[in-house]
Amino acid sequence: MKDYHTTPVALAADHGGYALKEAIRAHLEAKGIPYKDFGTHSADSCDYPDMALPACQAVTAEQCSCAILCCGTGVGMSMCANKVRGIRACCCSETFSAEFTRRHNDANALCLGGRVVGEGLALSIVDIFLSTPFEGGRHSRRIEKVMAIEQL
């Protein structure tokens, strides 16, 4: 994952994740962390794949360091993200998974459910996801095997 201090974080949401995306946007803004907002820009009903795809493509094009994707459950966003070649997305509702999906899976997309996690917990998950490095070592071999699956 590229340095999130210098390469923008891709943010995206549907209507179910809009309020949480806005809270995360304000949180990143307050911390001086650059971001690119792929929408949605209101609470009007929309379709999560429409926002997930460009946000994930910005990550694989290395224009963004990682993606933070919010929908009602986080599940639809994670389904979309994991279909984009080069994306390793994890849907998190607690901090342990957020830490270890960075340490062990080198995840480059975090998915959150705006109807599942409260704002305070979500912001802690975001902070841990962004600040935790990949451990490498034996996990690099496993990531290579994970990425080989999408070539089949």
**Site for ligand RB5, rule CB under 6 A:** 14, 16, 48, 71-73, 75-76
Which tokens in the block code for residue 53? 């795809």
Considering the candidates 64, 70, 71, 92, report the single residue annotated as catalytic: 71
Which candidate, 142, 76, 140, 146, places its Cα nearest to that of 112? 76
Task: State in angstroms the smallest separation of the CB of 77 from ligand RB5.
Answer: 7
- Residue of this chain nearest to ligand RB5 (CB atom): 76
- Nearest distance from C-beta of residue 7 to ligand RB5, angstroms: 27
Judge contact between 18 and 114, C-beta under 8 A.
yes
Q: Which is nearer to ligand RB5, 8 or 74 (CB)?
A: 74
Kindly tell me which of 73 and 97 has the beta carbon lying closer to ligand RB5: 73
Q: Is 71 a catalytic residue?
A: yes
What residue type is 78 in one-letter code? S
- Taking the complex as a whole, the smallest distance from the CB of residue 42 to ligand RB5 amounts, in Å, to 14
DSSP one-letter string for 107-141: --EEEEETTTS-HHHHHHHHHHHHHPPP--THHHH
